[in-house]
Structure 1
Amino acid sequence: MAYATLDQLKAQVSTAFADDDDLLQHYLDAAEEYVRGFLADDPEADDPPSPVPDTVNQATLLIAAAWYQNRESVVNTSRGSLLPEEIPYGAHQLLNQVRGWAFG
């Protein structure tokens, strides 16, 4: 069981074509590794929580979609910051709600 599915990510980025499926799956896998490392005491654990909390699912989708849509760090000046953001706003807030749980 994964934190999110390819179909969920395709809905997140509003695409129905299959041309980028491999690339989207790559970003989804990388986002899941990032989330697992952020949350778990043991990032090598294979089994995600069952059922996957909605916050973990949404954070995984936010991260994967941001990486797919931007493909590099984003400078968000709307909040007055000129620092690049590698993880989209909101993802860490969602993950912090469940950080420290033992997954796997």
Structure 2
Amino acid sequence: MSYATLEEFKAHARIGFDDDDDLIEGYLDSATDFIRPFLVDDPEGDSPPSEPSRDLKQATLLIASSWYERRETSIDVTLREIPYGARDIINQIRSWNFG
């Protein structure tokens, strides 16, 4: 389960068509998987919260939309960059969780 929904992503990215829905859901899942290790002690054992906070959704949307928009420019998919705003949100949430 992703921290943000397909509908939230499409509103965020202003997408009005359904052709890329499977691709977008993959980016949302990947963004959630990217964020989760920063927020929990055991990334494999914990699942996303049933109702993620607004800032967690925003970070997910920023990362997923960045990857969606720049999907052809990556040289190495393991070197994915994330937007600064998403990094700031993750760091803030992380400090709340781990002090």
- TM-score norm. by structure 2 comes to 0.81
Alignment of 1:2-21 (within 5 A): 2-21=2-21
Aligned to 2:17, the other structure's residue is in SS state coil
SS in 1 for 2:3: coil
Residue 98 (structure 1) aligns with: 93
Bigger mean CA deviation after superposition, 48-57 or 35-44? 48-57
Q: Distance in 1 between matches of 2:44 and 2:80?
A: 26
How many angstroms does 1:46 deviate by? 4.1
User: Does residue 23 of structure 2 align to residue 28 of structure 1?
Assistant: no
| Aligned-partner Cα distance in 1 for 2:57–2:43 | 17
Mean CA deviation greater in 13-22 or 35-44: 35-44
2 CA distance for matches of 1:32 and 1:18?
A: 21
Deviations 1:7-52 (A, max 9, x none): 0011111101100001100101100100112221111134223431
**Which structure has the bigger radius of gyration?**
1
Q: Which piece of structure 1 moves more, 61-70 or 32-41?
A: 32-41
* Amino acid across the alignment from 1:88: P
Q: Which runs of 5+ in 1 are unaligned?
A: 74-83
- What aligned pairs does 1:61-72 form with structure 2 within 5 A after superposition? 61-71=61-71, 72=73
Scaled by the length of structure 1, the TM-score of the pair is 0.77
Question: Separation in 1 of the partners of 2:46 and 2:17?
Answer: 30
Long gaps (5+) in structure 2: none
Q: What's the secondary structure of 1:49's corresponding residue?
A: coil
Secondary structure of the corresponding residue to residue 47 of structure 2: coil
Secondary structure at the aligned position of 2:22 is classed as helix
Distance in 2, Cα, partners of 1:85 & 1:48? 21
In proportion to residue count, which structure has more helix? Answer: 2
User: How many residues are aligned here?
Assistant: 92
Q: Percent identity between the aligned chains? A: 52
